[in-house]
C-alpha cells in the first residue's frame, strides 16, 4: 500500500499522524510525506529552478525566497517522516515538497505516485481539507473500476 501524506508540522497535523497508530493500516507500506512550500506571494514554478547568472536583483531575491521555502518544507517533511517511522518502523518512508497543494495538484501527485490512500494533515481546514476529500473520492472511483 502506498500512502501520500501532506504534513505541515502543525499541532493538528501531529494529532493526525498520531491517530494513524490506532488505525488499521498494514505493517508493510510505503509513505511519501510531502510538506507544502509556503511562499507569499506565490511564485511561479520557474523561481524554484536554478537561476541564470545575470538575473535581475528582484529575480535573484525570488530565487532566494524559493530556495529558503523549499529547504524549510524539506525539514518539515523530515519531521513528519520521523513521526510516521516511529509509529510504523517497517514502512518505507520518503519525503518531498508540494508546490501545488490544491485539490487538483494533490490529485495529480497522488495519481502520478500511484498512491492508494491520502492523508492531508495540516492546520488548514479549507483548501487542503477539500483536497483530501477530492483526491480520496477520485482515488476511490479510480480503484473501483
- Model confidence over 62-119: pLDDT tens digits? 778 888 888 999 999 999 999 999 999 999 999 999 888 888 888 899 999 999 988 8
d(CA 88, CA 25): 9
Confidence of residue 142 (pLDDT cuts 50, 70, 90): very low
Query: pLDDT at position 50, please?
Result: 62
d(CA 111, CA 125): 23
CATH fold, domain 2-42+74-143, is: Rossmann fold (3.40.50)
d(CA 124, CA 128): 6
Cell numbers of 107, please? 490529485
Percentage of the residues of the chain whose pLDDT score is greater than 90: 35
- pTM of the full predicted structure? 0.77
Query: pLDDT at position 45, please?
Result: 65
Of 21 and 50, which is predicted with more confidence?
21
Beta-ladder partners of 120: 6
Beta-ladder partners of 3: 31, 117
Would strands 117-121 and 30-36 be described as parallel, antiparallel, or unpaired? unpaired
Closest CA to 30 of 81, 104, 102: 81
Query: pLDDT at position 104, please?
Result: 83
d(CA 12, CA 33): 15
Residues constituting the chain: 145
Q: Within 10 A of 139 (CB to CB), how many other CB atoms are there?
A: 18
Query: pLDDT at position 145, please?
Result: 35
Could you check whether the bond before residue 41 is cis, i.e. omega within 30 degrees of 0? yes
Average pLDDT rounded to a whole number, residues 14-29:
85
Of 18 and 135, which is predicted with more confidence?
18
Q: Is the pLDDT of residue 144 over 60?
A: no
Query: pLDDT at position 49, please?
Result: 66
Amino acid at each position: 500500500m502506498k500512502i501520500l501524506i501532506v504534513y505541515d508540522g502543525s499541532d493538528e497535523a501531529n494529532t493526525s499522524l498520531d491517530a494513524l497508530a490506532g488505525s488499521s493500516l498494514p505493517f508493510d507500506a510505503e509513505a511519501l510525506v510531502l510538506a507544502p512550500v509556503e511562499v507569499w506571494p506565490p511564485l511561479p514554478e520557474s523561481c524554484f529552478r536554478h537561476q541564470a547568472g545575470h538575473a535581475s536583483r528582484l529575480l535573484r531575491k525570488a530565487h532566494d525566497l524559493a530556495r529558503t521555502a523549499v529547504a524549510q518544507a524539506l525539514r518539515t517533511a523530515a519531521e513528519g517522516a520521523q513521526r510516521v517511522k516511529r509509529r510504523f518502523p517497517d514502512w518505507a518512508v520518503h519525503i518531498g515538497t508540494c508546490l501545488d497543494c490544491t485539490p487538483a495538484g494533490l490529485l495529480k501527485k497522488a495519481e502520478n505516485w500511484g498512491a492508494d490512500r491520502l492523508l492531508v494533515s495540516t492546520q488548514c481546514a479549507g483548501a487542503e481539507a477539500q483536497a483530501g476529500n477530492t483526491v480520496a473520492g477520485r482515488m476511490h472511483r479510480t480503484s473501483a473500476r
